[in-house]
Amino acid sequence: MRQHKLTKILVHGIIAVLASSQIVATPPKNRPKTYKKKKSDPEETVQENSDRSQTTSAVSIETGNRLAIFEFEGKEISVPLTARMTEEFRNTVRRLNIFEVQDRGLTQRINIFRPETDDYWDCWNKDCAVERGKLLGVNYVIAGTIEDSDENQYLIKGRLYSVDLESLMNDFSFNSTGITDSLLLGMKKLAYDVSGLPIPDTLSIGADTTKIVDLAVEKDKSRFRLPDIDIPDKIKSLLLSTVVPGTGQMYSKRKYVGMGFLATEITLAGFAFIWQSDYKQSWGGFQNTYNSYQNLTDPKELLELRPDIIRYARETKRYNNLMRNVRNLGLGIWVVNMIHAYIVGPEELYEGNILFGTEYDDGSQSGSGPGMTAWDLASGFGVRGMMLRPFVKNTALEDYRNHTSGGFKIKTPVGFTLGPIRTFLQYEISNYTFDQKNYDNENVISGFNRATIMNIDYSNLLRIGGESVEKSIFFGLTRSGDGNGIMTGMDIGFKIDAEVPLYISFFGRTNSMKSPVHGDMFWVTAGANLGVDIP
């Protein structure tokens, strides 16, 4: 009966996740943004050009803001340095969130269209740039060059073309002194310039020099860097979801679908743990009774053992089937997740080189538009699968052995805030098992603790560990087949990624239970849980 309920919960959970995924599967429309003309900078020299007359002071880009940045051409400097500077330029423009910057891999597709050259600076005139921009399906293109004009003097030049308007939008150049102190800074300034944003004061020579030195040191320290292989983004998305379900979707800016996949897999894993625990009990019972049957000679005892053996054997088969089913379901969802990750992989996406999104995410997927979405309703909820094991127990349990168990808990947004302290309600189902001998049902204390828990988050009170570490204490009332009780404990959660509310937590807790059969039971448990919270 218990299993039947669990199965119903599982089915409803999957339906809910799939329904939610359907709702958020529609890619968000990009909000129109206004491109403003760059502000002048005293340090830079803007070259006059014959096409200058075509530059507009303010351009609406409501038709689209997709930008392809061609590889800068290096003159008298190495190709890797040019590529590095171009990528730095791309990343900076991308982070400024004015343009949707096409990834390098996609921009390089120009090689397929025009295999005869990869020297994009050759594409200096308007017609060539517009033609290639159309081939790449972007609204804007930038072509540029980095030239070592003198000893440690670098001249960075570039042009911004509108593919839609078929015109030159901006023509810029910049002088930089010394590769180690200002070339990188120059590319960043250029990115601000191209994006029409004021160049911040923090982009000073001194600050940038420090950053470059830090980067150099960091590079030296990092001995296990992956080779810089240019993997297509769709394949990256597929690989990520192959390794961890949902992460490919997160990479492809489908965070909530990704979290849905991950939460579903975690939930299935929780069920698998529960059924595995039941299986172990049945298997232990089977082994005990079957061994007794083989060794005993008394007909009465043998006859009494028969139904137990058959029952335990059936139970092991049943729980094994449940585990197989949940495993197959999990693997099926895993495969679907992989296919989905490949399909939604960022072929046409122009943003997001960061695994779990960018820090400039405009929240367009979070249902912030008009109308309430399923995710709005689900906001504040979370699900976590857990593993736990008792390590201290009182005299009522001293003759029993400890066993690792599983469970899951659902976090709700129900709670209140009292100054720096936040509270929220949780519901948890976890298994506990103590046995005297090989999990035999006759010698086991086992059941499901259904707990209603009040969680008190004091992270804002005690800021050790920063924002990515959640610290809380909790207490709750428990109910199980063995009796009612109280649970108290503490939990330290680590946010695995800054952008995705994926947590791994470690907890310690006390459990007390008043059992009419076993007396007053008390045990202390330690464990870990993994799960997601819906922001």
Partner 1 sequence: MSIYRNRIGIILVALAVCWFACEEADYQLDNLSDPLNLGLTPPAIFFHPSSFNIDVNDTFSVKLYSYDLPDVAGAHLQVLYDRGSLQVDSVITDTLFRIEADPLLFMDDAEGVLDVFLFAMPTQTVENVSGTDAMARIFFNVISPGISELVYGDSTRIVNAQNIPVQIESYGKAVVDAQ
Q: In angstroms, what is the minimal distance from the CB of 245 to partner 1?
A: 8
**Residues in region 283-342 near partner 1 by CB under 8 A:** 283, 286, 290, 293-294, 296-300, 302-303, 306, 309, 312-313, 316-317, 320, 323-324, 327, 330-331
In angstroms, give the least distance from the CB of 239 to partner 1: 10
Considering the complex, what minimum distance in angstroms separates the CB of residue 316 from partner 1?
5
Do 138 and 164 form a contact (C-beta atoms < 8 A)? no
What residues from 505 to 534 belong to the interface with partner 1 (CB under 8 A)?
528, 530
| φ and ψ at residue 509, rounded to 5 degrees | -150, 155
Residue closer to partner 1, measured from CB, 23 or 313: 313
Other Cβ atoms less than 10 A from the Cβ of 294: the count is 9
CA distances to 384, 389, 429 from 172, in Å: 52, 64, 63
The interface mask with partner 1, positions 238-267, x = CB under 8 A, is -----xxx-x-----------------xx-
Task: Give the shortest CB-17-to-partner 1 separation in angstroms.
Answer: 16
Binding mask 169-208 for partner 1 (x = CB under 8 A): ----------------------------------------
The footprint of partner 1 on residues 349-378 (CB under 8 A) is 355
Residues 6 or more apart whose Cβ sits within 8 Å of residue 440: 281, 284, 285, 288, 289
| Nearest to partner 1 of 115, 227 (CB atom) | 227
Q: Provide, for the chain, the percentages of residues in helix, strand and coil under a 3-state DSSP scheme, each rounded to the nearest 5.
A: 40, 30, 30
Measure Cα distances from 119 to 73, 75, 105, 114 in Å. Answer: 7, 11, 16, 10
Query: What mask of x and - would describe binding to partner 1 in positions 379 to 398, judged by CB under 8 A?
Result: ------x-------------
* Whether the Cβ atoms of residue 472 and residue 490 lie closer than 8 Å to each other: yes
Q: Collapsing DSSP states into helix, strand and coil, what is residue 167?
A: strand
Please state the closest distance from residue 251 (CB atom) to partner 1, in A.
10
Asked if 475 and 453 touch (Cβ cutoff 8 Å), the reply is: yes
Structural contact between residues 341 and 248, judged by C-beta atoms closer than 8 angstroms? yes
Residue type, 278: D
**Inter-CA distances, 8 with 2, 4, 259, 535, Å:** 10, 6, 21, 26
**Of 511, 504, 474, the residue nearest 389 (C-alpha):** 511
Among 241, 252, 264, 276, binds partner 1 (CB under 8 A): 276
When the beta carbons of 316 and 478 are compared against partner 1, the nearer one is 316
Residues that bind partner 1 (CB under 8 A): 222, 224-226, 243-245, 247, 265-266, 268-269, 272-273, 276, 279, 283, 286, 290, 293-294, 296-300, 302-303, 306, 309, 312-313, 316-317, 320, 323-324, 327, 330-331, 355, 385, 496-497, 502, 504, 528, 530
